[in-house]
Structure 1
Amino acid sequence: MSAGVPAGCAHSICMVSDFFYPNMGGVESHVYQLSQCLIERGHKVLVVTHAYGQRKGVRYLTNGLKVYYLPLKVMYNQSTATTLFHSLPLLRYIFVREKVTIVHAHSSFSAMAHDALFHAKTMGLRTVFTDHSLFGFADVSSVLTNKLLTVSLCDTNHIICVSYTSKENTVLRAALDPRIVSVIPNAVDPTDFTPDLSRRNDATITIVVASRLVYRKGIDLLSGIIPELCQKYPELHFLVGGEGPKRIILEEVRERYQLHDRVRLLGALEHQDVRNVLVQGHIFLNTSLTEAFCMAIVEAASCGLQVVSTRVGGIPEVLPEDLIILCEPSVKSLCDGLEKAIAQLRAGTLPSPETVHNKVKMFYTWRNIAERTEKVYDRVADEVVLPMDERLNRLMSHCGPVTGYIFALFAVLNFLFLAFLRWMTPDSVIDVAIDATGPKSTWTKQNFFGKKRKR
């Protein structure tokens, strides 16, 4: 088993998820920003994900953040296929080579994240998991995912959720002890999302939508809102950023009601382009049917827009009442909310974009999120890693008579496979990587180029 790291000391952290740059999304941004702030705080951080096209092997990002793009096959929606065992040789080599002490996995949808948790426990490493999503309990997909989550988290050291609603959901889905679940929200870099009055046209009212065009984001609701409000307000325009299978519905609405000059579909947006789209609008509309947190409304508010959103999941926790109009997930309720925002805009009673931005930038900062996450790392560093017999007992007692025994067998096979790999290639013969991140007092930047020079 790995040696423990005293609380308050630098940790060697491996972030694992199928979702990372160049793919764009909330999880990708969270992993990157959190990693950068942890590096700033003196920790060693690396990211493990799967290859994206020609981006494979080892890459270095800002501040020496090392990213391993592994040659694993993608199954669906950027999540890798898994047999549970095939990733062990690669992940074990990385964990040993980088002297990893804590494995931090992200997203219930990521097969690689669950694989990494399973292998890390077999190797005696501390584990942390961040859940970014909400799930139901009734449909077949949710039942299977929740059972997998129960197995994956029953012996994980600590779990992080992005809202209190998300915590309740995860605790129920995975039958967890609430004491090992912390709430640490997402954040936004306020310097990336600033208002720009020079780009606003007061002759029209522009409603901005920026999300993936999928069912979960409520695009069917949006298709009902657009024609109703465009007929009522001739000066109203819609600016829609994002791509997905529901785009065809919006194109049909635009065609049927001849709204080509009032509804613009921008397609997929790069992260650096989101702010330039947001500042073209006055109101931001979020029609999501489920959200654990929703970074998009924070980014929009940071740009000074009035937010109108469905009252679902963790959204009511994100912004204060004076910065958001909450509606039920129905066309009528959302239209009422938008009309209220339009009336306030016309009357000039909305706070100025600069005022809104200055308020929002104080709510969520990545440095604060990193500090709170660091406390979780300090806590798990003091915990004892479960020996194999206790881990098997927990799997069998916590996960049910069938699933528990099946995964207990998998854990035994994984342990034997690890023993075989250690016999074939002992840990001692695996080259230790030169740190490109971590405490600045230990290494100079020349380490990045492979020269070992202590100060």
Structure 2
Amino acid sequence: MLHRVCMVSDFFYPNMGGVEEHIFNLSQCLISRGHKVIVLTHSYGERVGVRYMTNGLKVFYLPVRVFYNQCVLPTMVCSLPLIRYIFIRERITIIHGHSAFSALAHEAMVIGRLMDLKTVFTDHSLFGFADASAIITNKLLEISLADCNHCICVSHTGKENTVLRARVHCDRVSVIPNAVDTAAFTPDPSRRSTDTITVVVISRLVYRKGVDLMAQVIAEICPRYPQLQFLIGGDGPKRWLLEEVRERGGLQDRVTLLGSLEHSQVRGVLTRGHIFLNTSLTEAYCMAIVEAAACGLQVVSTRVGGIPEVLPSELIYLTEPNVPSLLLGLETALANLNSGNVVPPWECHHRVASLYNWMNVAQRTETVYHQVAGEKTKTLGSRLRSYMARGVLPFLLVVTLAHLMLRFLDWMVPRQGIDIAKDYNVTSHIMGSSHSNGDVHCHPYQARKKLS
């Protein structure tokens, strides 16, 4: 059974991150398996309208303004006619939303359900239960997933978190981990310095990533080990803290801040290092440590969220999220590195390649699609009862208004009057490109850069 899938999220190229890479790679694998896949996101600067990426992946950049943190304001009224038009024109059957932070994903899923389409949601994050922001986010997620056909989490810890905070029945939640393109992340020990030991950090410099811990670790470990250097990639509001530690300790020649990196640059930075340090305070699944292990680095990471599930024990040093434990983990990694008691880089790479690949993720996601496609379509009354069970009367009014708008649009802009888009034939493109310099033979990120 082939499906016509719309991936929806506020986070997509040219923005870079774990969610963006997940959507792109999953879409590519689903396309190669014969499914129709499009991506729906908001505009990024002048990037508005329809763009094509590798293997004919069609991306709709909606002309909607960003409200906060790269997310749109969920007005429903402004975007509903455009989203409905796209779903009908592309003959979409399944809406797949990504990220609890994405207002556009939740909005599209509500509209899709009112159009009798199936919905799947992938949760990429972990949330607490105590602070105000988490309480509000959890309530919004509970409302959004009240009528969702199925949810996907990237770790078992993430599943427990989603089931508790969104009150979703565990039978409606599957665990499908992320993967890494091991062909793009390969070791190159010749690029490592023989005179120094380099610790690599690649992360957004925000509180959730434990930048405060990282700064204290750097300040304490550098005086103990003169041969140690830090290579830090990423940017964010906490960058000033690392700059201050560097200035106070006179570590300008030992702590290098690379700033924001393109994804194509990450492998080049990783292969220069011996150890990868992750100080996150919360993670559902950390893609960075998998990429680092694929490049043959020894990984030192905090034991939080779903991280203990990601790599086998011989490839990672797990620590508590505090300075003494992180220092102990780093010192253990340094001692093993000096004694040669570590997994060789290429063996480490092959272990990661055997554990994670995107085609396996696509096959398991495909199974979820098959399951939801066979479910019965709910009536409007049953959908409203699902929302009433969550005790949110204002949202019932929003859903009712959206339903009336869709009925008005069915009269004003009837379905039979909307042109159906032609499907992109991947097979014929590959055949036609076999004698040319087509992007389809490039690495996905290289091709994506050319087509942008």
- For normalisation by structure 1, the TM-score amounts to 0.94
Residue 266 (structure 2) aligns with: 274
- In the alignment, the residues of structure 1 paired with residue 358 and residue 173 of structure 2 have an alpha-carbon distance, to the nearest angstrom, of 20
- In the alignment, the residues of structure 2 paired with residue 22 and residue 437 of structure 1 have an alpha-carbon distance, to the nearest angstrom, of 25
Pairing partner for 2:406 from 418, 424, 428: 418
Gaps of 5+ in 1: 1-8, 447-455
**1:84 shift after superposition:** 2.3
Asked whether the equivalents of residues 106 and 131 of structure 1 are also in contact (C-alpha less than 8 Å), the reply is yes
- In the alignment, the residues of structure 2 paired with residue 368 and residue 266 of structure 1 have an alpha-carbon distance, to the nearest angstrom, of 34
- In the alignment, the residues of structure 2 paired with residue 60 and residue 352 of structure 1 have an alpha-carbon distance, to the nearest angstrom, of 40
Pairing partner for 2:201 from 209, 216, 220: 209
C-alpha distance after superposition, 1:385-430 (max 9, x if no partner): 2110111111102x12xx1x22122111111000111111001101
- In the alignment, the residues of structure 2 paired with residue 157 and residue 321 of structure 1 have an alpha-carbon distance, to the nearest angstrom, of 35
**1:442 shift after superposition:** 12
- In the alignment, the residues of structure 1 paired with residue 71 and residue 432 of structure 2 have an alpha-carbon distance, to the nearest angstrom, of 35
Q: Structure 1 residues 225, 251: closer, same or farther in 2, change over 3 A?
A: same
Pairing partner for 2:418 from 410, 423, 430: 430
- In the alignment, the residues of structure 2 paired with residue 203 and residue 442 of structure 1 have an alpha-carbon distance, to the nearest angstrom, of 50
The yes-or-no answer on 1:222 pairing with 2:191 is no
Residue 310 (structure 1) aligns with: 302
- In the alignment, the residues of structure 1 paired with residue 385 and residue 115 of structure 2 have an alpha-carbon distance, to the nearest angstrom, of 17
Residue 293 (structure 1) aligns with: 285
Pairing partner for 2:360 from 368, 390, 415: 368
Q: Structure 1 residues 160, 47: closer, same or farther in 2, change over 3 A?
A: same
Equivalent position amino acid for 2:85 in 1: Y
- In the alignment, the residues of structure 1 paired with residue 331 and residue 177 of structure 2 have an alpha-carbon distance, to the nearest angstrom, of 30
The yes-or-no answer on 1:101 pairing with 2:93 is yes
Residue 137 (structure 1) aligns with: 129
Q: Structure 1 residues 372, 391: closer, same or farther in 2, change over 3 A?
A: same
Residue 247 (structure 1) aligns with: 239
Equivalent position amino acid for 2:190 in 1: S
Residue 25 (structure 1) aligns with: 17
Residue 6 (structure 1) aligns with: none
Written as runs of structure 1 = structure 2, the 5 A alignment for 1:300-339 is 300-339=292-331
Aligned structure 1 segments of 4 or more residues deviating by more than 2 angstroms: 440-446
Pairing partner for 1:90 from 75, 82, 91: 82
- In the alignment, the residues of structure 2 paired with residue 41 and residue 445 of structure 1 have an alpha-carbon distance, to the nearest angstrom, of 19
- In the alignment, the residues of structure 2 paired with residue 86 and residue 420 of structure 1 have an alpha-carbon distance, to the nearest angstrom, of 14
The answer to which of 260-269 and 349-358 deviates more is 349-358
- In the alignment, the residues of structure 1 paired with residue 292 and residue 156 of structure 2 have an alpha-carbon distance, to the nearest angstrom, of 22
Residue 445 (structure 2) aligns with: none
The yes-or-no answer on 1:356 pairing with 2:344 is no
- In the alignment, the residues of structure 1 paired with residue 217 and residue 425 of structure 2 have an alpha-carbon distance, to the nearest angstrom, of 49
Gaps of 5+ in 2: 434-452
Pairing partner for 2:250 from 247, 258, 265: 258
Equivalent position amino acid for 1:177 in 2: H
Written as runs of structure 1 = structure 2, the 5 A alignment for 1:2-17 is 9-17=1-9
Equivalent position amino acid for 1:425 in 2: V
Residue 5 (structure 1) aligns with: none
Written as runs of structure 1 = structure 2, the 5 A alignment for 1:332-411 is 332-397=324-389, 399-400=390-391, 403=392, 405-411=393-399
SS in 2 for 1:46: strand
C-alpha distance after superposition, 1:65-104 (max 9, x if no partner): 0000000010111111121222111100000000000000
- In the alignment, the residues of structure 1 paired with residue 375 and residue 78 of structure 2 have an alpha-carbon distance, to the nearest angstrom, of 29
Asked whether the equivalents of residues 43 and 437 of structure 1 are also in contact (C-alpha less than 8 Å), the reply is no
**1:444 shift after superposition:** 9.1
Written as runs of structure 1 = structure 2, the 5 A alignment for 1:82-231 is 82-231=74-223
- For normalisation by structure 2, the TM-score amounts to 0.94
**1:443 shift after superposition:** 12
Asked whether the equivalents of residues 39 and 437 of structure 1 are also in contact (C-alpha less than 8 Å), the reply is no
Between the two proteins, what is the percent identity of the paired residues? 61
- In the alignment, the residues of structure 2 paired with residue 188 and residue 288 of structure 1 have an alpha-carbon distance, to the nearest angstrom, of 19
Residue 451 (structure 1) aligns with: none
Length, aligned pairs only: 433
Q: Structure 1 residues 437, 85: closer, same or farther in 2, change over 3 A?
A: farther
- In the alignment, the residues of structure 2 paired with residue 46 and residue 265 of structure 1 have an alpha-carbon distance, to the nearest angstrom, of 37
- In the alignment, the residues of structure 2 paired with residue 338 and residue 442 of structure 1 have an alpha-carbon distance, to the nearest angstrom, of 49
- In the alignment, the residues of structure 1 paired with residue 46 and residue 78 of structure 2 have an alpha-carbon distance, to the nearest angstrom, of 22
Asked whether the equivalents of residues 134 and 169 of structure 1 are also in contact (C-alpha less than 8 Å), the reply is yes
**1:145 shift after superposition:** 0.6
